[in-house]
Structure 1
Amino acid sequence: SLIFLVRDWSFPYEFSYGADGGAKFLEKRLKVSGNQHEELQNVRKHIHSCFTNISCFLLPHPGLKVATNPNFDGKLKEIDDEFIKNLKILIPWLLSPESLDIKEINGNKITCRGLVEYFKAYIKIYQGEELPHPKSMLQATAEANNLAAVATAKDTYNKKMEEICGGDKPFLAPNDLQTKHLQLKEESVKLFRGVKKMGGEEFSRRYLQQLESEIDELYIQYIKHNDSKNIFHAARTPATLFVVIFITYVIAGVTGFIGLDIIASLCNMIMGLTLITLCTWAYIRYSGEYRELGAVIDQVAAALWDQGSTNEI
C-alpha cells in the first residue's frame, strides 16, 4: 500500500481532514487529463499498477504555538486540538495489526534483499541537488524491481548448488556438476522471467544477461571448490614434482655415466630446486603461510601436468 500524508492541510472546506477527504483529494490529483505532460500521465497510469491500495490522509496544521515557538518541546497542551484529534485517528489507521500487510510492489512481496535494491536505486537519483523528475523515479523503481528479481534468482541458484556441492558435500564428478549447473541456471532464468517486473521485456533483457553472467561466475567458484575435494586433484602438485625429481635423477645418472657432466650437473640442479620447491609447498600446505607462493607452485605444477597429458594424447 502507498499512503500519502498531507500535513498542514488548509482547505477542509474543500476536502475534509482524515482518510475520507484524502481519498477524494487523491482521486482528483491522480486523474489523467490531456493537458498534462506525458511523463506525468505515465506516472498516474503506472502508479495504480504498482500498488494494491493507494490512499491519502489530510492532517491539519499543529498550531501557531508549535510553528512559532523556538522552545517547543512536544507538550500536548501547546498543540492544536484539531491536530491531536486527527493524529489519534491516523496512528491506529497506520499501525493497527490489521493494517500491517506485507509490502508489495507490482504484485511482488518485498523481501529485505529487494528492499536494499530499492534503497540503492533511490539513493542514486536523490544524490543531486535537484529533485528527480517523475520519469527518473519510475525508471529507478523499474531498475530496483529488476535487480531484486536478479538477486532472488541468483540466491535460489546459490542455495541449490550449496545443497549439491557445498562445503560438507563429497566430490562430484565434473560432468554431473555441469549438468546440475545448467539445470539450475535454467530454473533461475525461468524464475527471473516469471517475476512481475516493471519496464517491459526490452528493459529487463540486460538484467537477464547480468543474472546469467553472475551465475556463470558462481559456477566457476563451485568448480574450484569441488576440485579441491578431489584427492587426486589435491595430490597433483606433489605427484608432478616427484615425477620431475625422478626424471631428472635418472637423466643425471645416465648422462653422468656416459660422460656428459654438464647435462648431469644441470639435471642435478633442477632436481635440487624441485626438491626445495616440494618442501616449500609442503610447508605452505601445513602452515597456511605464503599462500600466494603456494598458488604459483600449484599453477606451475598444473601446467606441467597438462603439458604431459597433452603429449600422451
Structure 2
Amino acid sequence: RRNPTALVLLVYAGSFAEKTYEWSSEEEESVRKAGPVQVLIVKDDHSFELDEAALNRILLSEAVRDKEVVAVSVAGAFRKGKSFLMDFMLRYMYNKEAVDWVGDYNEPLTGFSWRGGSERETTGIQIWSEVFLVDKPDGKKVAVLLMDTQGTFDSQSTLRDSATVFALSTMISSIQVYNLSQNVQEDDLQHLQLFTEYGRLAMEETFLKPFQSLIFLVRDWSFPYEFSYGSDGGARFLEKRLKVSGNQHEELQNVRKHIHSCFTKISCFLLPHPGLKVATNPNFDGKLK
C-alpha cells in the first residue's frame, strides 16, 4: 500500500508511474542546484496558489517517481526558529553517514532562509528540491522530503491563513514537528485542535486517525530538574500534559481527546536554550564555534 503522504501528493502531481514531465533547461539547472522551492504561495488577497510545476520538478524525477514518500514538516508560531531547525535536519541528511554529522563547527548554517529578528521570513510552504533516498529497516527505499512552513500568527496573516497552512502541512506530512517555545501551554493545544480539525474536515475523515506522527518540539526548555532534556524527559512531560482526568473541565478534556484521536503516534522532545550569543546576536550565522 502506498504511503498516505504519497497519495496526497499524487493528487497534486499526477501519477508517478504514468506521467512524464518535459524539462526546460532552466528547470534542470535548478534541480542540480539544491535549494528551497516554493510550492504553496500565499497571495496578497489571502488566497493560496499551488505551484504544480514546482512539485512536478521534485516528485517526477527518475529517482523519486516510483518511491513511497516520507514528508517531514516543521510548523508553529512565527519567529521561533523553524527554518533554523530545518537546516540542521538538512545538514544531517547530507552527512548522516559521517560519525560527526554536524561537520565543520566553523561552517555557517545554510539551506532554508533564516535570520534573527522579529519579522517573518518564510511564507507559504517550501520543499527542499533535493529528495533524500533512505533505506528502511526492511531494505526498502523511501523518498524523504523536508518541508518548511510559514509561521502562524504573524501580523500579516489572518487566522484562516494560519489554519490553512498548518492544516495542509499536517495533511501531507508523515512527521509533523510542532515547534514550541519554552513549554506546551493550553493555547498551543487549542490551536493544534483548531488546525487539525480544519485538516480533518478537508480530508473528509471523521472516524479514523487521519494524520501520522506528531512531535512536540519544546525549545528553550528551562526545567530539566523536572523533566530531563531529550525524548525520555519529553515523553514523561507530554504524558502529564496530555493526560485526561475527571477533575478537568470538559473543554480541556475534549482538546486532549481530539489530539489523541488525530495522530497515530505522538511524542515530545525537550531542547535546552542555545545561549544568549545565539539568541541576541544579529550577526549570528549558525557557526557552532
**TM surpasses 0.5:** no
Of structures 1 and 2, the one scoring higher in RCO (CA 8 A, sep 6+) is: 2
Normalised-by-shorter TM-score class: under 0.3
**TM-score between the two structures when normalised by the length of structure 2:** 0.26
**TM-score between the two structures when normalised by the length of structure 1:** 0.24
Q: Which has the higher strand share?
A: 2
Q: Which has the higher helix share?
A: 1
Structure having the higher Rg: 1
